[in-house]
Homo-oligomer: A and B are copies of this chain.
Amino acid sequence: MFTILPIKGYIDQIDGFFCDGIHAGLKPNGNNDLGFIYSDKPCTVGAIFTENRFQAAPLKHFLQYGEDFKTNFVLINSKNANALTGKKGIANINTLFSQLDFGLVNPIMSSTGVIGNPLPIEKIVAGAKRFDLTSKNGENLSRAIMTTDAYPKTCMYEVKLEDGSSFKIGAVAKGAGMINPNLATMLCFICTDAAAPYSDIMEALKVNSETTFNAISVDGDTSTNDTVMVLANGNSKAYDKEAFLEVLRLVMFDMAMLMVADGEGAKKVAAFEVINAVSNEQAMIAAKALSNSLLVKTALFGEDPNFGRIASTIGASRIDCDDEKLVISYNDVVVFNKGEICFDATIEAKAADVLKKDKYKIICDIGLGEGKFTAYGCDLGYKYVEINADYRS
């Protein structure tokens, strides 16, 4: 048995972890753009990366260390993704770390921002030399990694085990646009003082990603830099695999929900629950199709209970379905019931009320089996277009 308690604060609450963020001159507006995570003891590190075929230079640099290595330092910049930068992109990371005299053990870089520009290493080195490795300023770090994010994304938990020992775990993340099934332009750094072994970290990341980060969508795009990383320094000595898997799922789900709620310009979060599909796989296909559909997203933005778009999107996903079996509900308001149109003015008004909320469920009962999957999406409005029409400037 174990107990998981949410606690306040940033990852700097965790024994042995230090962090901060500064303005190094990458963002023109003076906001923080460079941050670090430092551990007083080298950490076991596990990460999962984007499935985009053009992995950015920092990802390739990380993978050069091989499996199950230890690190004490992660350097993170925004405004420049160091992606599509060829071999030079990796060489720039090595050059940069060679100029930092921090007693670094296998230092890791992580980047987010515009693709296809050379990394401004002079600015980054000059900035990093101003770091105080004894800082505990999670707030500054969380702001340094933001791009189009409207707010910083963090969470913290303490896990008490049956023997009275405990460990802490928390995350700092960024991600608002380009968020998609199969990761997205999102960076998520999860720190813990649990003595978690590499194999458990990787197992937990893989198992949990399907129902957390891979279940959310803002705009269906997948970036070159997506990273979810776990750093475990073992300072607490406490560890329990079951508890670790469970709390890591919570942390990943929290971060995923914060990202989808911050979908560029988004005001609404919809949980698309597809149930009773022929298989879980088919339920997932339909649920992700719903969370990615532009017509569905714009209807949510318009608070319009246009259930025809929901049904059409399920049909367009090509899963096994039959309109004589399909039931569609907005929360508990049934709008389509097995081929019967039950959408009179009363029902429409009730459904419209559901869509006025910030969060709601759209439940699609396929009626053909027991497969289920929930995907999370947001609305898409004018603000998304405004943000993305000229993101670079």
Where the two chains meet, the residues of A that have a C-beta atom closer than 8 Å to any C-beta of B are 51-55, 81, 83-88, 114-118, 177-178, 180, 219-224, 292-295, 298-299, 301-302, 304, 306-309, 311-321, 323-324, 336, 339-341, 343, 380-382, 384-386, 388-393
A178 touches B389 (CB 8 A): no
B319 touches A392 (CB 8 A): no
Give the number of copies in the complex.
2
- Among B116, B178, B302, B317, contact of A341 (Cβ-Cβ < 8 Å): B116
CB-based closest 4 A-B pairs: A115-B308, A86-B339, A302-B389, A54-B315
A336 contact set on B, CB distance < 8 A: 84, 116
Nearest Cβ on chain B to A278's Cβ, whole angstroms = 12
A307 contact set on B, CB distance < 8 A: 115-116
Docked complex Cα distance between A115 and B239 (Å): 54
Nearest Cβ on chain B to A374's Cβ, whole angstroms = 21
A323 touches B54 (CB 8 A): yes
A393 to chain B: closest residue by CB: B304
Known: A223-B312, A294-B380. 13 other contacts (CB 8 A): A51-B316, A53-B318, A54-B314, A85-B339, A86-B324, A86-B339, A86-B340, A220-B292, A221-B293, A224-B312, A299-B390, A304-B391, A306-B391
B316 touches A221 (CB 8 A): yes
A341 touches B52 (CB 8 A): no
A298 to chain B: closest residue by CB: B388
B86 touches A311 (CB 8 A): no
B220 touches A117 (CB 8 A): no
